[in-house]
Amino acid sequence: MGHCVVTLEKTQLTTQKKLLVFTVKKHWSEKMREIKFRIWDKETNCYDCDFVVTPSGEFIYTETGDRFSEDEIVFEQYTGLKDKSGKEIYEGDIVKTESNLLLFVEYLAGKYVLTTGNGYDTYNCIDLNEDSAFVSQIIGNIHENLELLKGDV
């Protein structure tokens, strides 16, 4: 199986959905694909940070005009999959599986997995694919609902 070269076509920050969207063109198929990121702001502890990315790569809050660094935010990539309710699954989401396990989405060993957070092995990871996504439901994320993984609810 060959590989494809991906070229960045444009960068756009959507303030309504708080997602950073890159549109890339796959040379081998000429199809367009959106690669989405949601952004967690460590300073305000929310996904609702309104900011822009300047052409030079600086991050600036739109309300105050203050600059901030990439260290103050967490990029979480869309996996390209949706849960059984049709909700987009991102890195950092906490999902409940059909067997009532509470796991979170992580990118490990070159793929997205549902994990307990103890590293990659067959005992605590489930490959995230169309089948596992279809029977899972997003119930939170690791920033706002970490207690779900600790069993405090």
Does residue 1 fall inside a structural domain? no
- Judge whether 114 lies within some domain: yes
Q: Please state, as a whole number, how many other Cβ atoms lie within 10 Å of the Cβ of residue 40.
A: 21
Q: Tell whether 29 is covered by a domain.
A: yes
Residue 106 tokens read as 């992580």
Determine if the pTM surpasses 0.85: no
73 lies in which domain range?
6-150
Binned at pLDDT 50, 70 and 90, residue 6 comes out as: very low
The pLDDT of residue 50 is 75
Residue 93 is assigned to a structural domain of this protein: yes
**Residue 121 confidence (pLDDT) above 80:** no
pLDDT at 84 over 50: yes
User: Is 14 strand, coil or helix?
Assistant: strand
Q: What is the average pLDDT value for the chain, to the nearest integer? A: 75
* Residue that is written with structure tokens 């300073």 in the block: 43
pLDDT in the model for residue 14:
46
Q: What is the CATH number of the domain that holds 77?
A: 2.30.30.290
Residues of the chain above pLDDT 90, percent:
19
Contacts of 49 (CB under 8 A, 6+ apart): 18, 39, 41, 61, 73
Total of domains in the chain: 1
- 53 within some domain: yes
pLDDT of 153 over the 60 cut: no
